[in-house]
């Protein structure tokens, strides 16, 4: 049987007690040090909020999205695909031109919106929500 040692409403220790041991408050196995105890109930401490994403978090996620778009057309990454802009194979050249225009639009949008976050003009989105805002690529037919 578990017992919690409580000081000022906070569990400071949890022990396995023999039958008849009366110190502390009877508790379940889930109760941990740091939990609160009030009116006969235990509750975990409030969860720390997730840290806000950094500019680097956004940058890495956006670059991964860009590289993923290039890989969807069997190029190694965005840099490789952009290198086909002046290619003599028309399909590859056309894909590279469309890709670089989209890539540039993505970064222009991203930097503009992140500046708005920095300036307090909009709330900071999660990385996933921000990626969903980005322009979609329109591959040539």
pLDDT of residue 19: 83
pLDDT digits (tens, 9 = 90+) for 45-72: 999 888 999 999 999 999 999 999 999 9
Burial code (b: 16+ CB inside 10 Å, e: under 16) for 69-86 equals bbeeeebeebeebbebee
Whether residue 77 sits in one domain with residue 16: no
Task: Indicate whether 124 belongs to any domain.
Answer: yes
- On average, the pLDDT of the chain sits at 95
Does some domain include residue 26? yes
30 and 85 part of one domain: no
Domain that holds residue 33: 2-43
> Does 63 lie in the same domain as 18?
no
Contact 122, 51 (CB under 8 A): no
Q: For residues 33 and 81, state if they share a domain.
A: no
Model-level pTM? Answer: 0.69
pLDDT at residue 36 tops 90? yes
| CA 97 from centre of chain | 31
């Amino acid at each position: 049987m578990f017992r919690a040692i409580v000081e000022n409403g906070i569990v400071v220790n949890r022990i396995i007690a023999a039958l008849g041991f009366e110190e502390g408050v009877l508790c379940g196995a889930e109760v941990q040090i740091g939990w609160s105890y009030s009116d006969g109930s235990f509750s975990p401490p409030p969860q720390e909020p997730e840290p806000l994403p950094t500019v680097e978090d956004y940058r890495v996620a956006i670059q991964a999205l860009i590289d993923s778009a290039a890989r969807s057309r069997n190029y190694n990454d965005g840099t490789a695909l952009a290198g086909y802009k002046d290619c003599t194979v028309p399909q590859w050249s056309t894909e590279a031109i469309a890709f670089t225009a989209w890539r540039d639009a993505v970064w222009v949008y991203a930097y503009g919106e992140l500046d708005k976050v920095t300036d307090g003009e909009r709330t900071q989105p999660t990385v996933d929500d921000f990626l969903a805002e980005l322009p979609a690529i329109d591959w040539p037919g």
